[in-house]
Structure 1
Amino acid sequence: MTDSLDIAQFDYELPPELIAQHPAARRDASRLLHLDGAGGLHDRQFTDLPGLLRAGDLLVFNDTRVIKARLRGRKDSGGQVEVLVERITEPQRALAHVRASKSPRPGTRLSLAGGAFQAEVLGRRDELFELSFPSPVLALLEQHGSVPLPPYITHGADDEDEARYQTVYADKPGAVAAPTAGLHFDQAMLDRLEALGVNRAFVTLHVGAGTFQPVRVSRISEHVMHAERYAVPAETLHLIRETRARGGRVIAVGTTSVRSLEAAARDGDGEHACEGDTRLFITPGYRFENVDALITNFHLPQSTLLMLVSALAGMDPIRRAYAHAVQSRYRFFSYGDAMFIEAAPASSTTEGHQAQTP
């Protein structure tokens, strides 16, 4: 059961030099580790993906767009401050992480982007601050913000990151981190898959900075999952039903697509569009309703995403896959290589799951 799972069961040793700091020369130039449903491991290239899919399969992509959510500036007292917008709640208001030597109080004015504009601190909601901006937040971020690269990427965001830390099908702005499994797809790959009869559908989940937060408890059942906004259109649910009826597979592109599809299975009726905040926490033993396979990158040790892939494939197969990836010098995390994971039989996964709701 989930109560028996310990954080140490999801740890592994990763040499720092395997953390990819820059994307591959081409989007599809990464390696692909295939973990089949029987636990077999196969070293491939991402360009081999069409050979692993079948006509009638359905790929589900997350069409969120990363916003330039990071701003730097000073408090009205003169102290330096860094703002990372987590969620735009109204055209001129947002919830944000604020890093400063002292937490700003309500009424504090933040001079941002070299004095280009000011934002006012209205109050605090848990670890986030509510900020008021002088004009629409999204436009200000687009003009003055920078791409919020993950904490394990050590260089500042540049023009390459603006282009490559974004999927080619990104549409709906709102994420502060990319759905990185989708970064491997270029338009040529999408066209190739379409020609093979592989279908395509979309969900939207605006990835929050919480995706990088470590699990700070030993007992997994005590972890409180961060909330993220998601939407699954009725058309996507219709395509899932059609795919299943034909005997095809539903293949999520990224863990964010998994969370969206499984949240919809939990919260909706399987037919009508479903949206809201989800705190769904998928751990080994979880019974997947809408996902048969997953394309994903490699995940941080002791992370909730490593627990999610362990739920799909089984804990032992994932341990072996990650040990193999380290030994074979795969590139890890956002700009790294990919995995294609086929679901293991339910009997081979550890029992227990936790599904938290807002």
Structure 2
Amino acid sequence: MARLLVTGGAGFIGSNFVHHALAHTDHHITVLDKLTYAGNAASLEGLDPSRFRFVHGDIVDAALVDELFADVDAVVHYAAESHNDNSLHDPRPFLDTNIVGTYTLLEAARRHGTRLHHISTDEVYGDLELDDPARFTETTPYNPSSPYSSTKAGSDLLVRAWVRSFGVAATISNCSNNYGPYQHVEKFIPRQVTNVLRGIRPKLYGAGENVRDWIHAEDHSAAVLTILDKGEIGETYLIGADGEKNNKEVVELILELMGEPADAYDHVTDRAGHDLRYAIDSTKLRSELGWTPAYQDFEAGLAATIEWYRDNESWWAPAKDATEAFYASKGQ
């Protein structure tokens, strides 16, 4: 049994981790979340109050962070501004949360000698050519493309520096694109699913040739627990489930699974700096720590995700209209 602090635990990937950890371990979990538009307290409803508590606050609040670190054994750092489109519209919050917030946590970890695991993204590596057989590894040079990915790259480098310079007991994981329950409707898969549920045609950036390496949030959560338990301090682990699909394939599969014609979608203006392809090589995580993904059938995982959104309209509906109005204002 351990006492974990999970930053950003009301967000998509963080809330999935909280549910997974409570279901599969005896850990006690405290969530620290600012509850921006992407954080949703409803994602944490019904959890056992004897093992879970929620703290509303900001990771840049050094006094609050210090207080929470004093009462936990380890910290899993999910909190981040994470949407590329939003980073192009207003980069400043990404600097505050992803850079200053991570620095604040690292300083607290240094003072308290607390184990910290930092959640990052494959987007720090930039992109790959569509016909390139290579995949990202732990030694791939950083080449971020957006304010979002560049601030995540910066936060990774801070973690590495605090490990080397100050002996902070930290690990890093860079994960591919997640899908599953509790994901905000601004994101690619839930946006298209909820569009179909609302009778709106899905939207596809450009020609839809951009490739993403999809992993179910449950598999990501299991991998993080594995790294927290077995990972070597100072090491980086890439998390992926060999789920490469281009966006056109994903939209068409969503439509087919929802009983609609596969071509019932609209093309919209591509976003600036849209990365071509991400692909993760998770050999190190699998061979050294013994992790394997449970959701190896993307179609089955996507079908389950669609059913979750179908059954939980009360969770996603409050954000849907504002999200679509924002995209409409950008012609997307």
TM-score bracket, normalised by the shorter chain, equals under 0.3
Tell me which protein shows more strand as a share of its residues. 1
Tell me which protein shows more helix as a share of its residues. 2
Larger RCO, structures 1/2 (Cα 8 Å, 6+ apart): 1
**Bigger Rg over Cα:** 1
